[in-house]
Amino acid sequence: MAISEEIRQIIFILEEEGFGALAGELLTEISLGREVEKESYVEGQSDKAGAIETVIARVPIEEPDQLRVAMDILRSRLVLPVRAFIEAEKIASELVGDGQVRIGFIDPEQRTATPPISIRDVGDASVADELDALLTRLPNMIIPPQVDGV
C-alpha cells in the first residue's frame, strides 16, 4: 500500500522533532491497515456442516483516508493522554478537598521523584487544546527537502 505524501511529511516532521518512535508507529499502523471484522466460513471438524465465524483482518487504508487516520492516531497518542492526566489531577484534587493535587512519578532507576509535569492550575486543559490545534495545522506545514552539500 502506498503512503500518501501528507503522511510522509508528517513522519518527516515527527522524526525531525525527536518523535522517531511515534513516527515509526504511525508508519506501521498506516502500512498495516485498519482492523475490520469479517465473517469467514470454517469447515466443521465433525460431521456437522461448516459454520460462519467472525475474524479480525487488516485491510489497506486508502490514500484519501490516510490523513484522517493518522490524525486520529496522533490524537490518541498525544492529546488524549494529556486530557486524561488533567482529569486525574482534577479528580484527585476533588477527593482531597482542599488544595491542588499534583500527580508525580518516581524514576524507577534513580528512585527519585520527578518534578511535576505541569505547574499550571489543576484542570487547565490549555496545553491539550494547543497540542490539538497544532495537530490540526500539522498537515499544512511544509518543510522543503534537505539537500546534502547545500
- The more confident residue out of 140 and 133 is 133
Per-residue pLDDT tens digits for 7-34:
898 898 889 888 899 999 999 999 888 8
CA angle 98, 93, 132 (to 5 degrees): 140
Residue 123: is its pLDDT beyond 50? yes
Domain ranges in the chain are 5-140
- Could you read off the pLDDT of 76-89 as tens digits, one per residue? 998 999 899 889 88
What pLDDT, on a 0 to 100 scale, did the predictor assign at position 150? 47
List the grid coordinates of 144: 522543503
Nearest to 128 by CA among 91, 69, 100, 87: 87
Q: pLDDT at position 144, please?
A: 53
Task: Provide mean pLDDT across the span 130-140.
Answer: 82
